[in-house]
Chains A and B, each alone.
Chain A
Amino acid sequence: MMSASVTIAEGGDPLLQTRGEPLLAVAGIHTHYGKSHILHGVSLEVGRGEVVGLLGRNGVGKSTTLKAIAGLVHPTAGEVVFEGRSIGRLASHRVARLGIGYVPEDRRIFPLLTVLENLRTGLDRHGVDKAKRAELLDKVYAYFPILAERRNQRGGTLSGGEQQMLAIARAMTLEPKIVLLDEPTEGLMPRMVSQIAQIVGALHNEGVAVLLVEQNVPLTLKASRRVYFIEKGEVRHHAMASELHVDDPVIHQYLGV
Chain B
Amino acid sequence: MDIPLDQILIQTINGIVTGMILALVASGLTLIFGIMDVVNFAHGELLMLGAYVGVVTLGLTGNFWLALASATVLIGIFGALMYVVTLRPLLGRDPLTTILATFGMSLVLQNYALWQFGAVSRKISEPIVGHFNLFHLDYPWYRVAVALISAAIIGGFWLFLKFGTWGIWIRATTQDRVMAQAMGIPVPWVLAGVFAIGSGMAAASGVLFGPFGGVDATMGLNWILRAFIVVVVGGMGSLAGSVLAAILISLLEAYASLWVSPSQAIIVSFVVLILTLLVRPTGLFVATPK
Contacts and interface: CB of A to CB of B under 8 A. Distances in A.
Interface of A: 70-72, 91-93, 96-97, 102, 104, 108, 110-113, 117-118, 120-122, 124-125, 170, 174
A120 B185 CA distance: 11
Contacts of B188: 91
Interface residues of B, number: 18
B175 A110 contact: yes
B171 A112 contact: yes
Interface of B: 165, 168-169, 171-172, 175-176, 178-188
A120 B181 contact: no
Interface centre among A70, A102, A110, A121 (most CB of B within 10 A): A121
Contact of B179 (A91, A108, A117, A174): A108
Given A91-B188, A93-B187, A124-B165, A110 B171 contact: yes
B116 to A, nearest CB: 38
B196 to A, nearest CB: 19
Contacts of A91: 181, 188
B182 A70 contact: yes
B165 A120 contact: yes
9 contacts: A71-B181, A93-B182, A93-B187, A102-B182, A113-B172, A117-B168, A117-B171, A121-B172, A121-B180
Interface centre among A92, A104, A111, A117 (most CB of B within 10 A): A92
Contacts of A71: 181-182
Contacts of B165: 120, 124
A121 B178 CA distance: 13
Contact of A108 (B168, B176, B186): B176
Given A112-B171, A113-B168, A113-B171, A93 B185 contact: yes
